[in-house]
Every structure is written in structure tokens, then in C-alpha cells.
């Protein structure tokens, strides 16, 4: 895996082979903008307009959304400060537009869920819903910035401007990818765990819930979460003059889909029946991951190498390490992955065995089948990961420039422009 460059130094930025931005690329970006806009209002609907019978599940979802929003907002502000850009005008337009749309669309959702009693209940609810819109702005704003750079690159009149804006596109997409994958692991995956656990508490099996909820769970497990991880790593590879081929993207996608599904299902089943013990186990896993990252990952200029911020930074990615191992340094990660996935496999197996032997209404066949499917998903994910590193990793594709440190000093002008007609698609997939 490639790693995200938290210490951004424009003067030492890796040279990127310039590709022409085509109309198909612009269409992809506009569709991605629309999807993220719809996602903002879907989260609003789920938190404030959808009746959730399980109050504990609702409170957990609310807290998860709040904390993930605060974290991504802080990181987004820091990224802007390091890039030394002044996004105030565009950010203001985005915020005002979203707040205006919120008050236009809210009546379609029906009466909101009043968050507190008393005469000020409606006022508090309006304030809280507006705050949650603001928390979702960073991810959406980063994607808007990518689209703006793409349009300016497409219609630039000079080659110098095209080179400048194309590099801005690649860097902005990597930033958007980072915020996207953090949202995936800090909000998307935990919310899905809470949702599945609530289903296990109330129903005997998944066939008793509505087909729409079944579809949403399947889409999140099998498409949204693994594709976010795949897109993130592809955007980082593009920064290194590389991108996923179609077979490589499929293999990487299947690897993440299998491992994430197995992990989420194994945590969900024990959370449903032993919420306290599960919370303690997850807390211990998070603390151990945080401390290991604190001592392994060196302090960076991203937070001015402050020790307190370094611990907080590692604690954020300690949450990510509950689900997946993100490469944060240049060093090889063979034993790192061996230890991580070994521990995860042990945790998943213990969780599934405890759930399978627990006495409740589900049939033995259902329980055993669930355990077998979960274990097959995990083992299958490990095998696909091995296949990726054996056949599809960049070192096996004869790309020697990736480890060549001298390329940092090569002028951008030596790279040839890869011309493409308007009916051709560029190699950068949408986020």
C-alpha cells in the first residue's frame, strides 16, 4: 500500500505525469458531488427524521456521527492551513448553500425528532441539525475543490496553467480520499455495527427486516465501504505516477470487502448480547493500537510535531486499526500485517464462538452457517490479499521509479503530456 503524505511540502512534491482532463472525468466528478450532497441529507434524515425504536442504538449513532464530524472537520482545517490556500469564499458559498437546502428539503422529511423537552426543544433541534450539516461540509467541500480544479484545468489556455491545475487535482483528490476513508472507518463502519447489532437484538434473522434495510446493509458491506478504501489507495498511487489497473482494482476491492464484512459481522453479533464486554474489548484494542502507533509512527509537521497532538493523531488512526491496517510510513509492513490480521482473526473467531454457543431462539443451523460464512470471508480476504502482493503489487509491475528518491528533484517540464480526445476517459477514477 502507498501512504498518505501528511507532511506536505510543495517544493519536494513528487512529479506527476500530466494527463488531460476529459469530459468523462468532469461528469464523474459532478456525479460524485451529487452523491455526496445526497449523502449529507440522508444522514440528516437518519439522525433527525427517522424513528428508531432502539433508543440505545440511536444514541450510539448520534455520538458516532458527532465525533467523526468533529475529527474530519479538524483534519480538513489543518490540511487547508498546510496547503496555504484561502478557501474562505468557496467554503462560505458551500455552507450557505447547504444550510439553505436544509431548510428547503427538511419539510419533505416530515416532523423532526425533538432532541429535548421543554419550550426550547425545537430551537435546540434546529441548531443541532445545522451543526451536523456543518460537520459534513469538509468532505463535500474537498470534493467541490477537486471539481473546480478539474474545470479550470480542462479550460486552461496555457500549458503552464494546465500543469498547475492538474497537480492541484491530484493533491486535492488525495486529501478528499483521506477524509473519505476516515469517515468510512470512524462513522460508516461503527454505524453499520450498531445497526446490525440492533437487528440481532430485535429479530431472529435478517429475513424479518424490510428488503430496503437488507439492501442498504448489503450495499454498505459489499460496495460502499470497500470501494472507499480502494479509491483512497488508488488516489495515493496516482500521486506516485501510478494507478490501479482494472484487475488490480477488483482484487484490492475484494480483499477489503471480505475482511471488512467479516470484521463488522463478528463485532455486531457480540455487541448485541454483551455490549459492555464488547465495549471493553474494543477499547483495549484501540488503546493498544494507539500506543503502538505513537511509538512506531514518528511525529510530523502535520501537527507541528507536538507530542499531545501526536497522541491525539495516533488515537484517531487507532480507531481505524479496529477495522483495517492503514500504511502510514514508507517501511515494509509484512510483520506488521501478520500481527494485525492474526490478532483480528483470533478476536473474530472468539466472538463468533461465544455468539454461536449462546442460548437464544436462533436455530443451530443458522448459527453455524453464520459462523462459517464469516470465517470464510476472513480467510478469503487474507488469500486475496496474498494474491495482491504476489501478482498485483507495484513492485511486481516493474515500476522502479516508485523507490527512486531522485525523482523528487526532476522538473515537471520533462514529463510528456498525454493527450486525449474528448471521447477518451482519463485514468483517474472518481472518489
Residue pLDDT, tens place only, 11-63: 445 566 677 788 888 998 999 899 889 888 888 888 888 877 788 888 899 99
Per-residue model confidence as pLDDT tens digits over 55-80: 888 889 999 999 999 999 888 888 87
SS3 418: strand
Q: What is the CA radius of gyration of the chain?
A: 23
Looking at per-residue pLDDT, the higher value among 8 and 72 belongs to 72
Burial 392-407 (b: 16+ CB within 10 A, else e): bebeeeeeeeeeeeee
Work out whether the CA dihedral 216, 47, 133, 323 comes out positive or negative: negative
Per-residue model confidence as pLDDT tens digits over 197-223: 888 887 766 667 777 778 888 888 888
Asked whether 150 and 25 are in contact (CB, 8 A), the reply is: yes
Distance of CA 406 to the CA centre of its chain: 32
At 420 the pLDDT is: 40
Mean pLDDT of the 384-396 span: 81
SS3 86: coil
Question: Which ranges constitute the DSSP H helices of 159-205?
Answer: 159-183, 189-202
Going by pLDDT thresholds of 50, 70 and 90, the confidence category of residue 360 is: low
User: What percentage of the chain carries pLDDT values higher than 90?
Assistant: 25
Long-range contacts formed by 142-145: CB under 8 A, 24+ apart: 142/76, 142/172, 142/175, 142/176, 142/179, 143/29, 143/32, 143/33, 143/36, 143/176, 143/431, 144/33, 144/90, 144/94, 145/87, 145/90, 145/172, 145/176
Using CA atoms, how far residue 356 sits from 201, 360, 368, 374, in Å, is: 15, 10, 7, 12
Looking at per-residue pLDDT, the higher value among 139 and 350 belongs to 350
Q: What is the pTM of this model?
A: 0.83
At 261 the pLDDT is: 93
Give the residue from 167, 119, 165 showing the smallest Cα distance to 14: 167
At 115 the pLDDT is: 79
Contacting residues for 64 by C-beta, under 8 A, at least 6 apart: 186, 187, 190, 191, 194
Q: In the block, which residue shows the cell 479550460?
A: 155
Asked whether 70 and 189 are in contact (CB, 8 A), the reply is: no
Give the residue from 317, 221, 217 showing the smallest Cα distance to 260: 221
Domain ranges of the chain: 12-232, 244-401
Distance between CA atoms of residues 421 and 417, nearest Å: 13
Q: How buried is residue 363: exposed, middle or buried, by Cβ count under 10 Å (0-12/13-18/19+)? A: exposed
Amino acid at each position: 500500500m502507498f501512504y498518505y503524505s501528511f507532511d506536505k511540502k510543495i517544493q519536494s512534491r513528487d512529479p506527476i505525469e500530466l494527463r488531460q482532463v476529459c469530459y468523462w472525468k468532469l461528469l464523474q466528478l459532478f456525479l460524485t458531488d451529487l452523491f455526496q450532497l445526497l449523502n449529507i441529507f440522508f444522514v440528516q434524515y437518519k439522525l433527525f427524521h427517522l424513528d428508531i425504536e432502539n433508543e440505545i442504538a440511536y444514541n450510539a449513532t448520534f455520538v458516532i456521527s458527532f465525533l467523526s464530524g468533529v475529527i474530519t472537520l479538524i483534519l480538513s482545517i489543518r490540511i487547508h492551513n498546510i496547503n496555504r490556500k484561502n478557501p474562505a469564499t468557496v467554503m462560505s458559498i458551500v455552507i450557505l448553500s447547504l444550510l439553505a437546502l436544509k431548510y428547503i428539503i427538511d419539510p419533505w422529511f416530515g416532523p423532526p425528532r425533538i432532541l429535548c423537552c421543554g419550550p426550547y426543544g425545537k430551537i435546540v433541534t434546529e441548531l443541532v441539525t445545522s451543526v451536523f450539516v456543518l460537520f459534513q461540509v469538509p468532505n463535500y467541500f474537498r470534493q467541490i475543490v477537486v471539481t473546480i480544479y478539474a474545470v479550470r484545468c480542462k479550460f486552461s489556455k496555457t500549458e503552464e496553467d494546465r500543469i498547475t491545475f492538474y497537480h492541484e487535482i491530484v493533491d486535492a483528490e488525495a486529501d478528499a480520499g483521506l477524509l473519505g476513508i476516515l469517515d468510512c472507518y470512524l462513522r460508516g463502519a461503527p454505524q453499520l455495527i450498531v445497526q446490525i447489532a440492533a437487528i440481532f437484538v430485535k429479530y431472529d434473522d435478517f429475513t424479518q427486516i424490510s428488503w430496503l434495510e437488507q439492501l442498504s446493509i448489503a450495499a454498505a458491506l459489499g460496495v460502499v465501504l470497500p470501494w472507499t478504501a480502494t479509491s483512497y489507495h488508488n488516489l495515493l498511487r496516482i500521486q506516485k505516477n501510478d494507478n490501479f489497473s482494472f484487475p488490480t482494482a477488483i482484487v484490492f476491492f475484494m480483499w477489503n470487502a471480505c475482511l471488512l464484512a467479516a470484521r463488522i459481522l463478528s463485532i455486531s453479533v457480540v455487541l448485541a448480547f454483551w455490549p459492555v464486554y464488547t465495549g471493553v474489548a474494543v477499547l483495549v484494542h484501540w488503546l493498544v493500537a494507539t500506543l503502538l502507533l505513537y511509538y512506531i509512527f514518528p511525529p510530523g509537521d502535520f501537527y507541528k510535531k507536538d507530542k499531545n497532538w501526536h497522541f491525539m493523531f495516533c488515537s484517531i488512526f487507532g480507531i481505524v486499526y479496529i477495522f483495517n491496517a492503514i500504511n502510514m510510513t514508507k517501511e515494509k509492513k509484512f510483520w506488521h500485517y501478520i500481527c494485525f490480521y492474526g490478532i483480528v482473526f483470533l478476536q473474530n473467531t472468539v466472538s463468533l464462538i461465544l455468539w454461536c454457543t449462546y442460548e437464544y431462539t436462533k436455530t443451530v443451523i443458522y448459527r453455524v452457517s453464520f459462523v462459517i460464512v464469516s470465517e470464510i470471508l476472513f480467510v478469503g480476504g487474507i488469500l486475496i490479499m496474498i494474491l495482491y502482493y504476489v501478482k498485483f503489487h507495484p513492485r511486481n509491475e516493474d515500476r522502479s521509479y516508485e523507490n527512486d528518491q531522485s525523482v523528487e528533484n526532476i522538473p515537471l517540464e520533462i514529463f510528456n503530456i498525454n493527450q486525449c480526445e474528448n471521447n477518451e476517459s482519463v485514468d483517474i477514477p472518481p472518489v
